[in-house]
Amino acid sequence: MPKVASPFSTRQKLLFSLVLLAGCWLAVELACAAGLWALARYKNLEYQPRLLAELKRALQPPLARQLADPSTYILFDPDLGWTIRPDSDKAQGRSNSQGLRATREYSLEPPPGKVRVAAFGDSFTHASNVPAGFTWEERLEEIDPGLEVMNFGIPGADIGQGLLRYRRDGARYRPTIVLIGFMSENINRMVNAFRPFYFPRSSIAFSKPRFALEGDRLVLLANPIRSLAQYRELLRDPDRWLPRLGEHDYFYQRSFRRSRGDFLPSVRFARIIEDEYLHDPVFARDGTYNTRSEAYRVSLRVLDEFYREALARGSLPILVMYPYRSDILRRRDGKPVSYQPLLDDLRRRGYRVVDLADGFARYDPEATMARKDFYHYPKRGNRMAALWLHDELARQGLTRPAGVRAAIAATRAPEP
């Protein structure tokens, strides 16, 4: 059968294909533009990446101060990210030669007949914004002279940094009890590698190590900046350094990541869908932790690792939950605290947990302290925290060495 010649030339076919493709692309862009309108109108979701220029302006002053002032209270640390400068006496606190918030020195061996308690965590463990003599650690010693309480808290840190400090600095002091502090906001820090990405106006302009999950395995991602010389390079060339620092940073990926195609509705629509529906946010819609998020899963695994290591080294681990001001008010109003899913998981697995929200509810049932504007607990809050911790230690028979030894012998690492 003879072939019928096509009425269209190859050039015409190519032109038709290009027109059809352009029409399809235009239809996709119009559909995505409609999707963007619907997300903004009904879900209050918009693609609004923050400008790195804003971050660079906010970053310059605090980092320049840290590099220029050799006496700052917060000190660069290549392993932890930052720590407390030894022998410092500033408004933020007073430290001893071992870099602990303290007005005295400690021997490596616990004092005979005393229970040595070592507390690890962030600024709530450090008891920032209260003067010497009013931290909950010092208050706890006043309540019970049979306790010696060491303050390893680091302002701005997460509990992953607390674990690293325990491994490097804390374990050698052979604490009888290890308090593992977790403030409700800390979950955000667990997926942050450069603090200004999360808190651009922070006075701490350092990077830090963070833990991550590779399958079911917990891995440590080392501090991406290992020297002050590299920080000086960051100041000179932030455009080169910031994307590198953001490689493993949740907040960089969500808030600062831009592309040249952002002018296209399809690109903006895809970014919103990815961020909101494919990458689980840290908090659920009701304000509690999202148990599917990376931040939650990493937090749970790090707490588990810390608990097991302390127990393996002969100490009794106790998790201490610090409610933020909003959590205290939620508890007063009969609502779950933001960290309720984590608290439930920890208790279900058999961990020893002290929730300071219980203490505040007992000693301040009307939440009068939380109705005042504060970030860290004031003197009264530190006093209540000490009272509740002592109540819990006494209830479990943990205020004397023999009682702690018996508890350690009877404690097994919980099932994951």
Alpha-carbon distance of 151 to 127, in angstroms, equals 9
pLDDT of res. 373: 82
pTM above 0.75, yes or no: yes
What are residue 317's DSSP bridge partners? 178
- In this structure, of 259-268, 394-403, 405-414, the range with the lowest mean pLDDT score is 259-268
Contact 81, 113 (CB under 8 A): no
Give the other-Cβ count within 10 Å of 314's Cβ.
12
The model's pLDDT over 315-336, given as tens digits with 9 standing for 90+, comes to: 999 999 999 999 999 999 999 9
Residue 2 has pLDDT above 60, yes or no: no
Return the residue matching tokens 């809050």.
381
Contact 195, 208 (CB under 8 A): yes
The model's pLDDT over 42-88, given as tens digits with 9 standing for 90+, comes to: 655 555 556 678 888 888 899 998 899 889 999 999 999 999 999 99
34 vs 25: which has the higher pLDDT: 34
> In sequence order, which residues have a C-beta less than 8 Å from that of residue 333 and are 6 or more positions away?
none
> In sequence order, which residues have a C-beta less than 8 Å from that of residue 46 and are 6 or more positions away?
36, 39, 40, 272
Buried b (16+ CB within 10 A) or exposed e, 217-243: ebeeeebbbeeeeebeebeeebeebbe
Token duo for residue 224:
């991406």
Token duo for residue 124:
């709530």
* Residue 216, Cβ density class (10 Å: 0-12 exposed, 13-18 middle, ≥19 buried): exposed
The model's pLDDT over 178-223, given as tens digits with 9 standing for 90+, comes to: 999 999 999 999 999 999 999 888 889 999 999 999 998 999 999 9
- Averaged pLDDT, 33-40: 76
Q: What stretch of H or E contains 317?
A: strand 316-322
Contact 86, 95 (CB under 8 A): yes
Tell me 170's DSSP state.
Answer: I
Residue 3, classed as helix, strand or coil, is coil
% of the chain at pLDDT higher than 70: 89
Contact 41, 122 (CB under 8 A): no
Every domain of the chain and the residues it spans: 71-191+288-410
What is 71-191+288-410's CATH number, 3.40.190.10, 3.40.50.1110, 3.30.70.20, 3.30.420.40? 3.40.50.1110
